[in-house]
A and B are shown apart, each in its own frame.
Chain A
Amino acid sequence: MTPAEHKEQPLLLDVRNLTIRLNSAVGLVHAVEDVSFVLREGQTLGIVGESGSGKSVMARSLMNLLPRRSVTQRQGSVVLSGRKISALSERDLQKLRGAQVAMIFQDPMTALNPVLTICVQVSEPLQQHLGLSKSAARQRAIELLDAVGIPDAASRVDQYPHQLSGGMRQRVVIAIALACDPALLIADEPTTALDVTVQKQILDLLSRLQTQRRMGMLLITHDLGVVASRADIIAVMYAGRLVELAPAATLFSAMRHPYTEALFNSIPRITDPSHTRLQAIPGRPPQLHNPAPGCAFAPRCQYAQQRCHRETPPVVLSEPSVSSVVPVGHTEHVHACFFPVTRPVAGGAN
């Protein structure tokens, strides 16, 4: 899809100024801070961040999946297909989960119940949400397993998760997620636990199914390479904040945030000769409790100045046309930095 086509697509998900703070033994964790983005139908938004950047908490909060007791503060709004999530009752949310929105988690072994057959687990949403009979659900389950590329689905359907390999298990998880034809698929590190050859199969499968079904997809990963060629828009998170968001091609060719640049430069390239010195980022990601004032990346940033340690940079348009005020529902290039980088990265890519 071209960016122009995207603009015509109706809004699927509208997240505005989402802030989530969690209680923990060490204090109040600022897990997600003022995150805004939109996702249109049929689009893929890649969310990239290191561990502890708040990407998974953000994803789970979209469906109110965080443990209620630990969430102490929740601000902002999440609107899915015109319905405000925070206004829904738990009952309505349950109707939504699995039917309109589905999630895929990192570890396929723990996502599946080890004592139930594949058939029972794939049928469950079909019976719950679509009201299919047991035998109809079984038939549909076999079709779904077939669609996600499980060979000999009719006999596999009566097996248990431990009888399948990691890649096959993740395919089952995908089949469950797709069972009710969701409008939005949230894939949280769907391939991190898998080998590289299987990773490619699973990512290709997700892309294909997404195109067929015109699903919106949030693809959450720590690997910039995973989203580079598969996401329409990429959002980079650091310490709970969205530091840069741009259409994929723009992000790689004209990144503005120093963290995006540093992350991009620190990854070893398959095309670089051996013993190429890597441009490491000094220090480590910050703790999310009791955050220091200013930009969270400032202590590790080579361009940081006085101001960065005092004030938190707001999210602004990277190419301000009339004003730098970010329009609502935008998918333009934005960044949160006082001193954005302008140097285009040589070659732009791998």
Chain B
Amino acid sequence: MKDKPGQITPLQLRERDDIVLRIEHLFVNFRVGKQTVQAVSDLSLDVARGETLGLVGESGCGKSTVGRAIMQLPPPTSGKVLFKGQDLCLLSGESLRQTRTALQMIFQDPISSLNPRRKVRDIVAEGLQIWGRPGQQARVREVMEAVGLDPDAVADRRPHQFSGGQCQRICIARSLALDPDVLICDEPVSALDVSVQAQILNLLEDMKQRYQLTMVFVAHNLAVVRNVSDRVAVMYLGKLCEIGDTESVYTRPAHPYTRALLASIPDMNPLSRHQKDGLPLLQGDLPSPANPPSGCRFRTRCPNAQPLCAEREPLMQTVRQTEHNELQSKATDVVSDHFVACHFPLNG
């Protein structure tokens, strides 16, 4: 790495007391044959208590890797993952195992993430058994009821007797059994049918309220992410492009990539084909992460790319909030919670 980032605090990290999870300068490298692929490159972000952070991007952008790196699965190549101020990367063995009970994960394919040979009751109770927690039976009943499963009817059945949606409920029950602080959801609804997806999204919202969870929600579906998130982080080829308050990012995307992503969503309006928008369409595919473009990694597909973009990597900057609201006459220099890594950010 040429320009190794110094110890300057990244702009997008917030100085607040209620930050539960804080990732600083995260790098994750994978060896693929003789090459090294930088799956995540200098990523910093934080999540406050009770907040849901949506992590979006195309496949291969490193969003799932970030979710796993938080859990130290595997540990990142470098950087810090601070959970309540404690760096998980510095923990090992028993202390890591103990701390990690407070962070739980849900995966994309609910059926393959459950052991087909075990009963639902044992699957949900496993964490409690490992840690010898008291009142296991009552706790198992409680979380199963919370996720909408009837313990008397399902506890003795095995995963193959359930549909995908029901299996995802079992996974959620399992993750809640140990009363975690943080729930990391890696594409939790993308394998589910459309009509079942809404049930699980509503359930996750309910569970967040009931158990005061802080969530990291990794998904490629931008509409789903908007529905669940308070803040959104957009990733491209291992880099963080844009992060900010959901409303702000979706209504005023500042990064050309975010705008292209939003413009790519199929429109639910059947009349829209008669009024084709002039928004820039992304050309081509994702470049190989083994050999990312110089400077800004998005420049090869960016409609606004300039020579500067190939030379210098853009740094994170605050997105200026220009209030269009004329009723608010005061010059709005509000502290904006919206950051973008682009030399030529879009405005409004």
Residue of A nearest to B54 (CB): A274
The total number of A-B Cβ pairs within 8 Å is: 149
Does B77 count as interface, using CB distance less than 8 angstroms? no
Does A229 count as interface, using CB distance less than 8 angstroms? yes
Report the bound CA distance from A282 to B165 in whole Å: 11
Given contacts A251-B270, A268-B224, A285-B193, contact A273 B247 (CB under 8 A): yes
Q: Are B285 and A284 in contact (CB under 8 A)?
A: no
Does B198 count as interface, using CB distance less than 8 angstroms? yes
Within A211-266, which residues are at the interface with B (CB < 8 Å)?
Answer: 222-226, 228-230, 248-249, 251-252, 262-263, 266
Q: Are A225 and B265 in contact (CB under 8 A)?
A: yes
Report the bound CA distance from A284 to B263 in whole Å: 31
Most buried by A among B163, B220, B285: B285
Report the bound CA distance from A228 to B274 in whole Å: 12
Residues on the B chain within 8 Å of A300, using CB? 195
Q: Is the contact region of chain A dominated by helix, strand, or loop, or is it mixed?
A: loop
Does A306 count as interface, using CB distance less than 8 angstroms? no
Residues on the A chain within 8 Å of B226, using CB? 268, 270, 272, 274
Does A120 count as interface, using CB distance less than 8 angstroms? no
* Contact-residue size bin, chain B (C-beta under 8 Å from the other chain): 35 or more
Q: Are A274 and B228 in contact (CB under 8 A)?
A: yes
Q: Are A284 and B195 in contact (CB under 8 A)?
A: yes
CB-contact partner of A223 in B194, B271, B283, under 8 A: B194
CB-contact partner of A266 in B194, B263, B265, B282, under 8 A: B194
Report the bound CA distance from A168 to B284 in whole Å: 9
Minimum C-beta distance from B278 to chain A (A)? 14
Q: Are B230 and A274 in contact (CB under 8 A)?
A: yes
Residues on the B chain within 8 Å of A127, using CB? none
Residues on the A chain within 8 Å of B195, using CB? 50, 262-263, 266, 280-281, 284-285, 300
Does B273 count as interface, using CB distance less than 8 angstroms? yes
Residue of B nearest to A221 (CB): B266
CB-contact partner of A229 in B224, B269, B285, under 8 A: B269
Minimum C-beta distance from A48 to chain B (A)? 9
Given contacts A199-B266, A270-B250, A270-B262, contact A229 B273 (CB under 8 A): yes
Q: Are B282 and A201 in contact (CB under 8 A)?
A: yes
Does B90 count as interface, using CB distance less than 8 angstroms? no
Given contacts A196-B222, A222-B193, A285-B193, contact A275 B247 (CB under 8 A): no
Residues in chain A within 8 A of chain B (CB atoms): 50-51, 151, 165-168, 195-201, 203-204, 222-226, 228-230, 248-249, 251-252, 262-263, 266-270, 272-282, 284-285, 300, 348-350
